[in-house]
Structure 1
Amino acid sequence: MNTEKYEQILRDRQRELFARLHKINADIATGRNADSEEQATEAENDEVLDELGEVGEKELKAIDAALDRITKGTYGTCAKCGEPISEARLAAVPYAPLCQECATGL
């Protein structure tokens, strides 16, 4: 398996997520509008941004774990059953720790 290809994909995604999270944090930190209707809309937007930030943080943790598996030489091996994770699954979810069968509980 060409782990260099996946490492590059993971690092690119990691950079993208860092940039997105930085923007989310900057948007949340901006001041509120004096208009109460605008404040309500901004509060709703902040909730969405918070959720996006949480999803991004979880994905970053998964990416970090995948990069650690590359370093350890276990990338592409299912953490549950020890079988290889298919190229198709890794292409779709490059940080996947489990093969499709173990991930779906079959």
Structure 2
Amino acid sequence: MNKKVLTELQQQLLARQSELSQRIAEVTTNITQEHSADWSEQAQERQNDEVLEEIGNESRHELQQIHHAIERINNGTYMLCSECGADINPERLKAVPYTDLCIKCASAAD
């Protein structure tokens, strides 16, 4: 993979990292807001909190994957499968820039 494409992928990862950090902050703010005094409103708010909590969990998980991908770029192992050590296809990295598995190992994991 040429340096330009690698730089573009790193910038894409950093932009997504920023988006996710902002989303997590917004979710945290929304969940910690005080609930209504009305019982029926509270029930709806608690359901909303559960949805927001799941969005936050998914965002944190993706953020961890992005941090790991950036570390791999910095230490020169970004294009190598963490399972078998083979090269990860550049097209796969463009599609899923935080992946650390080649298509063969990713298919085996499913």
Give the alignment's TM-score, normalised by structure 1: 0.94
Equivalent of 1:43, from 31, 40, 46?
A: 46
Greater mean deviation of Cα atoms: 16-25 or 75-84 = 75-84
Deviation at 1:105, TM superposition (A): 0.6
3-state SS of 2:64 partner: helix
Residue 98 of structure 2 is aligned to residue 90 of structure 1:
no
Superposition pairs of residues 1-106 of structure 1, within 5 angstroms: 1=1, 2-105=5-108
Distance 1:28 1:91 in 2: 34
Q: Quick check: 85-94 or 50-59, which moved more?
A: 85-94
Give yes or no for contact 1:3–1:75 (8 Å, CA) kept in 2: no
Structure 1: runs of 5+ lacking an equivalent: none
Q: Write the letter of the residue equivalent to 2:102.
A: C
Offset, 1:88: 2.2
The DSSP-based 3-state class of the residue aligned with 1:105 is helix
After superposing on structure 2, the runs of 4+ consecutive aligned residues of structure 1 that deviate more than 4 Å are: none
Structure 1 residue 59: Cα displacement: 0.6
Aligned-residue identity in percent: 42
TM-score scaled by structure 2? 0.91
Structure 2, gaps ≥5 residues long = none
The count of residues paired between Structure 1 and Structure 2 equals 106
